[in-house]
A and B are shown apart, each in its own frame.
Chain A
Amino acid sequence: MSGSGNVGIVVVSHSADIARGTADMVRQMVGDEVPLAFCGGDPDGGLGTNVESIMAAIDAAWSDRGVAILVDLGGAETNSEMAIELQPEERQGRIVVCNAPIVEGAVMAATEASGGASLEDVKRTAEELSPS
């Protein structure tokens, strides 16, 4: 499976369109070199985020090197943290939420991941974009 040796990237937006568009920009940059999944929208398809889809996205982008999640607003972060806690024991500690702007952070994180960087380095690179 291509890209499985690199850290995976998950994009979680309140908007399915933003999630898909962000993932498109990531793909344009790194192709299939990183496992990538995205989700957006509430369980009824409106604006929002939900734990079930985030868990499915983590599964889809899973890498033994870990998964970095990029989120937009508060609910996306809270739901992502909940989804991480509900993961099996062996995945704990290998999934992180990056404190970074979703589009720029996802592209930067994926670019770093495509070079074989560790989860810590991927997260740090994405977070260099955040105002300190």
Chain B
Amino acid sequence: MQAEILTAMDQALTRELIESVARRVIDHAGELTTLDQAIGDGDHGVNMKRGFEAVLADLDTHAAKPLPEALKSVGMALVMKVGGASGPLYGTLFMTLGKTLPAEPGRDDVAASLAAAIDAVKARGKSDVGQKTMLDVLAPVHVALVEGRDPVAAANEAADATVPMKALRGRASFLGERSIGHMDPGARSSALMVGAITEVIGRQA
């Protein structure tokens, strides 16, 4: 009986996590598109919205799974539905979190899993920190988790810190020096997700 109650609570939390991340991204689709129009092909918002709408359409299916399996199936939905490079990049992020997180993770587990996911995203995008990408938010968030600092503040500061960077990967790199002065859209979408996840976890405490 105790185990059943625990399972029901886990499912509710998994559902809330997925739904909050999806809604946060969808609600900011316009902003992400505007950022991407400045230095890219302007499709980041619409692509991410399409992907997370597909995730919400199957929310019952995702949320019925244990957290690691749910993250894998969300990742696969993003791979299939987002389009653009963001699909494989965010899909790889979520799928790797699913592969490496235990069913009931603590903060250390999350930090270790995020480190593995960051490495997977680097490999997928043939990119690294400092190139004005989502990695420039994910890496500082990992450091904040390890050091016990607020991951949301770290994410938002890191997204702001992409503004003066010169893009070295993706469509924005075609602009060279002209990519300087704009926030990276992928950094912003990553920060939005970190914010949504942290709020849900915070309400549990």
Measured in the bound complex, the distance between the Cα atoms of B124 and A52 in whole Å is 17
Total A-B pairs, Cβ < 8 A:
57
A82 engages B79 (CB within 8 Å): yes
B47 engages A74 (CB within 8 Å): no
A49 engages B84 (CB within 8 Å): yes
Partner of A78, one of B46, B47, B81, B124: B124
Q: Which residues of A contact B169 (CB under 8 A)?
A: 74
Interface of chain A, main secondary structure: loop
Asked if B136 lies at the interface with its beta carbon under 8 angstroms from chain A, I say no
Q: Which of B83, B84, B85 has the most CB of A within 10 A?
A: B83
Partner of A47, one of B41, B81, B85: B41
Please tell me which stretch of A5-13, A28-36, A38-46 contacts chain B, meaning at least 4 of its Cβ atoms lie within 8 angstroms of it: A38-46
Q: Which residues of A contact B91 (CB under 8 A)?
A: 82
Asked if A50 lies at the interface with its beta carbon under 8 angstroms from chain B, I say yes
Partner of A43, one of B41, B83, B88, B89: B83
A74 engages B171 (CB within 8 Å): yes
Q: Which residues of B contact A81 (CB under 8 A)?
A: 88, 124
Known contacts A48-B43, A52-B80; is-contact A78 B88 (Cβ 8 Å): yes
| Chain B residue nearest to A49 in the complex (CB) | B83
What bracket does the count of chain B residues touching chain A fall in?
A: 20 to 34
Asked if A51 lies at the interface with its beta carbon under 8 angstroms from chain B, I say yes
B88 engages A79 (CB within 8 Å): yes
Asked if B140 lies at the interface with its beta carbon under 8 angstroms from chain A, I say no
Question: A102 → chain B, closest Cβ, in Å?
Answer: 16
A74 engages B170 (CB within 8 Å): yes
A74 engages B80 (CB within 8 Å): no
Apart from the given pairs A74-B169, A78-B125, A81-B88, 10 other A-B contacts in the complex at a CB distance below 8 Å: A42-B83, A46-B43, A48-B84, A49-B83, A51-B79, A51-B87, A75-B85, A79-B83, A82-B91, A82-B124
Return 6 A-B CB contacts under 8 Å, by A number: A42-B47, A44-B83, A74-B169, A78-B89, A79-B88, A86-B79
Interface residues of A (CB under 8 A from B): 42-44, 46-52, 73-75, 78-79, 81-82, 86
